[in-house]
Chains A and B, each alone.
Chain A
Amino acid sequence: MQAVRSGEVGKLELLFDRHHRGLFHYFLHVTSNSAVSEDLVQEVFFRILKYRHTYQTGTAVRPWMYQIGRNALIDHVGRNKGEVALPDGAGDFRSPDAEPDRQAQSNQEAALLKRALRAMPREKREVIVMSRFLELKYEEIATVLNCEVGTVKVRVHRALRELGDRFFALRGERAS
């Protein structure tokens, strides 16, 4: 990123290869729409080019990049407030190598969990995505969210707890 900042913008290709999947998964888990997620990834790299001078030398690239990603997402949500996001099925995630019966049960569980995750407020959903899917460190999440590490710890726990409550309610094991 240091090279990109000092004008070697071609080096951004390396950053794209390294981070575009993670960013895509972050947006996909939060928006449930692959076309929107792909557009948002492009937007992130465009913003990185445009605002490369704001990168502080010596700091970690990943949190800075996800900060830009989060801002792009917030802008997107703001612009499309009136629109209802239609999930495109790209979020129908499955594990490919399970036996048929277990596969069916596991698919059903995954579908319920996915429903529960989608029903959560965006802020809570994204801390789960960052900690579970992107495996960002709490320090990194704190930088992205601009808060203390202790706050991240509390938010991740509460979000996971809420996801559990929603999931078990959908399974009929708990009152919603």
Chain B
Amino acid sequence: MMCERVREQLPECLAGKLDKAERERVIGHLETCSACRNELAELGIVWRGLESMAAPEPNRAMRTRFMEMMEAYQAGMEQAPPKRTAPPAETSRSRWLAWWPSQPAWQMAVACALLIAGVAAGRYYAGVPKEMSPEMAQLKGQVEGLRQLVALSLLQAQSPSDRLRGVSFSSQISRPDADVEQSLLRAVNHDPNVNVRLSAVDAIEKYTADPAVRRALVDAVAVQDSPIVQCALIDLLAEVNDRDSAPALRKLVQDGQVDAVVRGRAILAIRKLEVTK
């Protein structure tokens, strides 16, 4: 029993966390018990060995990602409407109940009248030319901001399917946004999942008017380890007619280490770029 209790204290003893009285009690036992001394010696080897396993420093980009997450969160909080105190559920329900007829026949009549009014209003408004009211424009802006927040947040999620949803959300943003652009570029270059990278290549097309994005995509072709993603990038560069990418593509064609399919795709892209000169 004594041995068991002392052994449970050995990790604390090795960590120097025992108080004086307990340490003396453990030492007193160790002087008389060779089995516990052996246990201490073995645990000591392991304990000290673990010291050499100090983990490396985390990537500095982690802080940048954290700050992006904070900004997105704070922007989301600013855009959220202030909370209002909801009226008691009972009151609002009783107001509706007072209005609603109690006879089933009248209930049916009111329901039919509402249906007819709805259909008529729908037909009328379908013919009216659409002009966006300021409220509508504001609402649209808020939805746009929300999409952007959701996209940024999902692009940082752990699960590949969430990140795919993030890419999909980013495609729904009509206004180009610098943060989303950077997140998509990061996904193209660094996402561990090939499907996410492929989707990010598709989604970034709307940002290719920016020469910096096109340059980043050219650089990405060379560093990608997935031939499918390389092909998608090459196709995109040809699609947006990025003539500046031709030298990099030629270099790729001459590189024997590059996948044959990728080289073939690069040859086609170079031809396309030359034709459209």
Q: Which residue of B lies closest to A86 (CB)?
A: B192
- Say yes or no: is A28 at the interface (Cβ < 8 Å to chain B): yes
- Say yes or no: is B53 at the interface (Cβ < 8 Å to chain A): yes
- Contact B58–A128 (Cβ < 8 Å): no
Q: A39-B158, A42-B66, A157-B10 are in contact. Are A20 and B58 (CB under 8 A)?
A: yes
Q: A79-B159, A157-B10 are in contact. Are A164 and B52 (CB under 8 A)?
A: no
Q: A20-B62, A153-B9, A154-B8 are in contact. Are A93 and B54 (CB under 8 A)?
A: yes
Complex contacts, B39 vs chain A, CB 8 Å: 161
- Contact B52–A34 (Cβ < 8 Å): no
B75 to chain A minimum Cβ distance, whole angstroms, is: 11
- Contact A157–B53 (Cβ < 8 Å): no
CA distance A101 to B276 in the complex (A): 63
- Say yes or no: is B106 at the interface (Cβ < 8 Å to chain A): no
- Say yes or no: is B55 at the interface (Cβ < 8 Å to chain A): yes
- Contact B69–A93 (Cβ < 8 Å): no
Q: Is the interface of A mostly helix, strand, loop or mixed?
A: helix
Complex contacts, B275 vs chain A, CB 8 Å: none
- Contact B42–A164 (Cβ < 8 Å): yes
Q: Which residue of A lies closest to B10 (CB)?
A: A157
Q: Is the interface of B mostly helix, strand, loop or mixed?
A: helix
CA distance A128 to B43 in the complex (A): 12
- Contact B59–A113 (Cβ < 8 Å): no
- Say yes or no: is B207 at the interface (Cβ < 8 Å to chain A): no
Q: Which residue of A lies closest to B11 (CB)?
A: A156
- Contact A110–B49 (Cβ < 8 Å): yes
CA distance A132 to B234 in the complex (A): 49
Complex contacts, A46 vs chain B, CB 8 Å: 69, 73, 153
Q: A9-B77, A93-B54 are in contact. Are A16 and B63 (CB under 8 A)?
A: yes
Interface residues on B, range: 35 or more
Residues in B29-73 with C-beta less than 8 Å from chain A:
39, 42-43, 45-47, 49-50, 52-59, 62-63, 65-67, 69-70, 73
Q: A10-B74, A90-B56 are in contact. Are A16 and B50 (CB under 8 A)?
A: no
Residues in A125-139 with C-beta less than 8 Å from chain B:
128, 131-133, 135, 137-138
Compute the total of residue contacts between A and B using a CB distance below 8 Å. Answer: 124
Interface residues on A, range: 35 or more
- Say yes or no: is A70 at the interface (Cβ < 8 Å to chain B): no
- Contact B55–A131 (Cβ < 8 Å): no
- Contact B46–A167 (Cβ < 8 Å): yes
- Contact A163–B56 (Cβ < 8 Å): no
Question: Mind listing 29 A-B residue pairs with CB under 8 Å?
Answer: A10-B70, A13-B67, A21-B58, A24-B55, A24-B62, A25-B55, A28-B55, A35-B192, A38-B65, A39-B157, A40-B158, A42-B62, A90-B55, A91-B53, A93-B52, A95-B52, A95-B54, A110-B49, A131-B15, A132-B15, A132-B50, A133-B50, A157-B10, A160-B11, A160-B46, A161-B43, A167-B45, A167-B46, A167-B49
User: Which residues of B pack against A, CB within 8 Å?
Assistant: 7-12, 15, 17, 39, 42-43, 45-47, 49-50, 52-59, 62-63, 65-67, 69-70, 73-74, 77, 153, 156-159, 192
Q: Which 8 A-B pairs have the closest CB atoms?
A: A24-B58, A25-B55, A93-B53, A39-B158, A164-B46, A113-B49, A157-B8, A110-B52
Other than the given A42-B69, A76-B158, A109-B49, 13 more pairs (CB < 8 A) read A9-B73, A24-B62, A35-B192, A38-B62, A46-B69, A46-B73, A94-B52, A113-B50, A135-B15, A138-B17, A161-B39, A164-B45, A164-B46
